[in-house]
Chains A and B, each alone.
Chain A
């Protein structure tokens, strides 16, 4: 099936010389939920901004819903709804006015029934006559989502939708996303939180320093992310890992003080008990041990390192 978004050789270099995006190639499938992960400043927002027409690309092409975002911007932008990361709203407008404004801006005739439905779905209906400035941060975010949905886009971008959002809104947001997906809307979201991607996404892309370093099905990626490490602090430093333990995925720190064992959380047997027995058998004594799950940040760092 024709991808709903096709990005080819996309780069963005700002006037300052900062390369925010480097040669990105990416295809988003129609109807999927795609999570774009990456540390701060990785280029997630720039990528979204280029696709939505907010930032001009330096090189490369993007097709959204089959239309070139530069040559045929009217068609491509009509298909896209965007909820940006920053809470940028008008202050003095009412909720009702601002959502209807968005629909008009995107070239759609008035449809009060539809706007009412959107506001009701987002629990905003009783606030429709309130000025936006009187709303809480969470409510303002709902307003921004309502604005993005007002022209019935087939592609929805959610840039950090749950950053600084309370539990209730978060849950509502996921219900909304699921509902939209059932109706065939493609959803691209960026996030810091791995659980979020884990919960929602079909596929995951990792971006770092402007490069797309990995695109994978969620289930496959979760297997990678599911790695845990057991660190043993040794009583006496080791010169090398004993040959008898070569079968274990062990790493020795440079000073020989720490032994790191990497294992898979998804596996039936972690092998920890066996390893510890073998260590005792070989007289390798340890004074402390702790296990840790590699954080997303660490995974990024290691991915970038292997990439560089």
Chain B
């Protein structure tokens, strides 16, 4: 294991985050605050409770997930796309590193940033609504697991993309709709029966549901199933990255 390489990549990526602090941290926190003002304070006060939870508090896990997914993907995809675009990837490809070290470095840094962001939003939410966390250990667990999984997914997108447009297309066209339809702002039990069934094909439902369970002990789907599905997606992403480095797909051709 080339630990020096992992450290070098990780520090490099964290330094990049540090340089873009405003857009990396401040802007997601700001936009989430706006959601809390609109949905939590303004509209939320006129809404009834969902699953016995005040609406303003109910949306907190969903909003954190929303930011976590988008930021993990964009962060990790940019992290690996930029060296491809600028040409500096030559150094990574010629270095004595395996895919595992590359992934730990890049994905680890992206996930670290996402977790920090998630916790910041959690703190910010406190200024707008009161909430409690039933299972803090699982809350952090889901947060970290989701951050890692979707950073890995973003890493794959970054390798696959060969233009800035492609880099945006999956987050914009697939991930954003899935998150909005994944029960960030509502319980899927509020949907008509047919749509409830369809919603179960949306992986984000499991993420949001499990995360919400860690807060309020209530969920749309079983928390264990949520955990299992997230791990399954993580496994799929890991396999994809392994395959990419094994075949050199888009990297060594």
Contacts and interface: CB of A to CB of B under 8 A. Distances in A.
B95 interface: yes
Nearest to B93: A54
B45 interface: no
Contacts of A76: 96
25 contacts: A15-B253, A52-B93, A53-B93, A53-B94, A54-B90, A54-B94, A54-B252, A55-B252, A56-B252, A56-B253, A74-B2, A75-B96, A80-B94, A82-B94, A84-B87, A89-B86, A92-B19, A97-B12, A104-B8, A104-B11, A105-B92, A106-B96, A107-B4, A107-B5, A107-B96
Interface of B: 2, 4-5, 7-9, 11-12, 15-16, 19, 86-88, 90-98, 248, 252-253
Nearest to B6: A104
A142 interface: no
B248 A56 contact: yes
Contacts of A88: 86-88, 90
Contacts of B96: 73-78, 106-107
Interface string A28-66: 000000000000000000000000111110000000000
Contacts of A223: none
B78 to A, nearest CB: 13
A193 interface: no
B5 A106 contact: yes
A104 B5 contact: yes
A55 B253 contact: yes
Contacts of A106: 4-5, 95-96
A100 B97 CA distance: 16
Interface residues of A, number: 35
A70 to B, nearest CB: 11
Contacts of A53: 93-94, 252
Nearest to A110: B4
Interface string A96-134: 010011111111110000000000000000000000000
Contacts of A73: 96
A109 B4 contact: yes
A86 interface: yes
Nearest to B2: A107
Nearest to A92: B19
A180 B175 CA distance: 52
Given A74-B2, A104-B8, A84 B253 contact: no
Contacts of B4: 103-109
A6 to B, nearest CB: 19
